[in-house]
Amino acid sequence: MSAQKRKALSIFVILIIVLGWFITIFGAGPIPAVKDKLQLGLDIEGGVYVVMEAKTDATGDSLKKLMEQTQAVIEQRVNQMGLSEPIVTIEGQKRIRVELPGADNADEAIKQIGRTAQLQFFLADGTKMLDGSMVKNASITTDKQNGGYAVSLEFNKEGTEAFAQATQKALSGAVTPSMGDVNARAIAIVLDNQIISAPVVNSVIQNGQAIITGGNGGFSQADATNLSALIRGGSLPVALEEVNTSTQSATIGYNAFERSVIAGIIAIGLIILIMLAFYGIMGIAASIALLLYVILVLWAMALMGTVLTLPGIGGFILSVGMAVDANVLIFTRIREEIGSGKSVRVAVHTGFRRALNTIIDSHCTTIIASIVLYQLGTGSVKGFAITLLLGIIASLLTATVVTQLFLTLSSESKHWSAKKYYGMNEDNTPKRSIKRQFHFVKHRKIYYCIVATVLIVGLGVGGIRGYNYGIDFTGGTMMQFNMGKQVELSKVEESLKAVGIHASELVYSGENNSGVIIKTMASLENESRNQLIEQFNKDFGITEKNVVAVEQFGPSVGKDLRSNAIKAVVISCIAMLIYIIFRFEWKFGVAAIAGVVIDALTVIALYGLFHITINNPFIAGLLTVVGFSTNDTIVIFDRIRENLGLMKKSQLEELIDYSINETLTRSIMTSSTVLIVMIPMFILASDSIREFMLPLFIGVVVGTMSSIFTCSPIYFELSQLSGGPKYKGKTSKKSH
């Protein structure tokens, strides 16, 4: 591409960025602002989600078909509730997740959906004649005979025949009533073992169409609408049991959302300042790429219909920090090329080419972790994974295309191609660099001892004392109330005892301790939760409106979370091992996975040592640590692999140390950047995001340390045992 075309393209990119940001913030004509386009999660918008588990022994295709039928029936029901964009999804193999934005009462939502709701039609003697699957439609109509409203029924072919037989038997006079007050000539419509209507049959109905009237005066519009919705909901083909419920106040969620957005803006600002301070004109190119990156990720989420959750925002901001990594790799290579005596223009071209493979290899491992996390995660973890995945892909695109475009332009400029703008002196030495050469392999046994001590102490303490599992792992209930003022926790405990509830944790929340959070190890059903609300109403004068959030986890949910966490780590490690062996060799793969396992165990050990709560966000944090750790290790291994062909006369220990020292500035810069963007999240964001950030914070530090102090020495040990590295002796045009 000619310089003239590059200039035109760069102007076009800048215009796209400016226009893109304007539309993103304000919208333009038929295009809404991105905030109006994005779907907000229940933790932001407020609402209820319910997870229900099918009680069935079906497996394979039978189970799949059963769950799809159940999903369709529930979708019919929730669509009658008048809420905006309800979501019904199959989660795992036997679970249905129902998200109801705008709903504020989990108990009412469950009643509307029906945990075991099976619609059936009985004769007065209890004989079942047909079920809800045979109902084609039910709608509200006017009752011309009695006034008011009536309900019109329409049956499918099978239902038409069954209903004709039912009406014929009801009129025969041979039916002996056994269902309470049900008339001998009536057909009782039963939902979840509750009679919702028992219309009396006046004639045999053979055309598959019937009218249910409400007697003199007919039904009210509300009653007719409710009855038709219940019948139209159909029959669930399998009984369902509530295993997980959450209610989130919109006010609390939106406040957390606003704080998270502010934290994100601050984080992006910090990244730009760091890039400008450390990389000069290269930092300007990276900042332009970053501004485009943010637009791409936000609009990709909006167009894909991705639900934006608070943890998803955390994943997005973390990906902003990791997006810097690709640029830092490129900038490090460019400086090295200038240092070897090349002109700035040639250095930019060569630096990009040499960095490309490293960027792809290091980012692919994080992509693998994100995909596994998305497949095995649930709810908020999926939101975290998808934003992280989109962010990584966007960072690859912007760093390798946009950054390259602007750096190529600057390197061809007479004024901006001066070495000082690239952080280099005229004698080709870097202005800022770590001049000391560290001997990492020589002292490897010291690092082994430190890691072993942390693992033995942490895992030992955790094993003896027991890990601090959250209720999502153990099963249980969390209820958060806005009490309106600070109340004594001892009085709250008395209220709990009055309804037979034991709190495993009882703490204040909100401004001026005006709220309380109650956690129980027992999974409280709707009835128990309603009893507690009634007791609080009696003791403190609060109602359902004071319930800020409710989360309920059945014991089976915790079991699955633990199982999925183990599966996720194992599958990620296997996938990464295969990728690294394919791209490098087996010794690199084994060393990298050994580092990943050590990192994961170290995070678990620290959680055990300091008794930090292990919960659903912990899984996301652990998987991201796996990806980030491998990302850092791959960069060092890529340099070792390259130097194996360049430093043929060097001892392996010297070569590994040299490779680590070459990439040390990049490792420190990338890790520091990721940690820096987490700081605003810790200070400003909500507790749910902090739960995601904590294992990431620990993991970034642990992962960076292990890639330098553990993985590379392990590779050295394996090479010594196997008779030397595979790549030794290869030639290269580069010289030292």
Question: What are the pLDDT digits (tens) for 477-490?
Answer: 888 888 988 999 99
pLDDT at residue 167 in the model: 93
Do 111 and 224 lie in a common domain?
Answer: no
Average pLDDT, stretch 717-736?
Answer: 61
In a domain? residue 30: no
CA 249 – CA 106 distance, rounded (Å): 12
Taking only the tens place, the pLDDT of each residue in 237-250 is 777 887 777 776 66
Task: Compute the C-alpha angle 411/413/416, nearest 5°.
Answer: 75
Q: Which residues pair with 47 in a beta bridge?
A: 101, 248
Q: Are residues 488 and 547 in the same domain?
A: yes
The two three-digit tokens of residue 299, written as one number: 């609009």
* Domain annotation covers residue 432: no
210-257 pLDDT, tens digit each = 998 877 777 888 888 878 877 776 666 777 887 777 776 665 566 777
Same domain flag for 274 and 408: yes
Which region among 555-569, 641-655, 691-705, 721-735 has the lowest average model confidence (pLDDT)? 721-735
- Residue 689 belongs to some domain of the structure: yes
Instruction: Report the CATH number at residue 62.
Output: 3.30.70.3400
Claim to verify: residue 131 and residue 256 sit in the same structural domain: no
CATH number of the CATH domain containing 504: 3.30.70.260
Same domain membership, residue 710 and residue 597: yes
b/e per residue, 56-86, with b = 16+ CB within 10 A? bebeeeebeebbebbbebbbebbebeebeeb
Task: State residue 548's pLDDT score.
Answer: 81
Give residue 729's pLDDT band: very low, low, confident or very high (50, 70, 90): very low
Identify whether 731 is part of a domain: no
Helix %, strand %, coil % of the chain (to 5): 60, 15, 25
Residue 169: CATH number of its domain: 3.30.1360.200
Same domain, residue pair 382 and 369: yes
Task: Give the per-residue pLDDT at 76.
Answer: 67
Which of 72-76, 108-112, 466-470, 543-547 has the least mean pLDDT?
108-112
The CATH number assigned to the domain holding 266 equals 1.20.1640.10
Residue 728: inside a domain, yes or no? no
Last residue of a domain, one of 553, 576, 595: 553
Residue 703, in any domain of the structure:
yes
Residue 311 lies in a domain: yes
The token pair at 224 is 């007719």
Same domain, 242 and 209: no
Considering the domain architecture, whether residues 216 and 154 belong to the same structural domain is answered as yes
What is the reported pLDDT for 497? 92
Model pLDDT for residues 120-134, shown as the tens digit of each residue: 899 999 899 988 878
* Contact by Cβ (8 Å): 135, 231: yes
711 found inside a domain: yes
Counting the structural domains of the chain, the total is 5
Together in a domain, 159 and 64: no
111 and 125 assigned to the same domain: no
| Domain membership of residue 530 as a residue range | 477-553
Q: What is the pLDDT of residues 376-400, one digit of tens each?
A: 776 667 777 788 788 888 888 898 8
Q: Tell me: do 353 and 293 sit in the same domain.
A: yes
Q: Secondary structure of 235-284 in the HEC alphabet?
A: CCCCCEEEEEEEEECHHHHHHHHHHHHHHHHHHHHHHHHHHHHHHHHHHH
Alpha-helical segments (H) within 305-343: 310-339
Pair 243, 211 in one domain: no
Contact 724, 649 (CB under 8 A): no
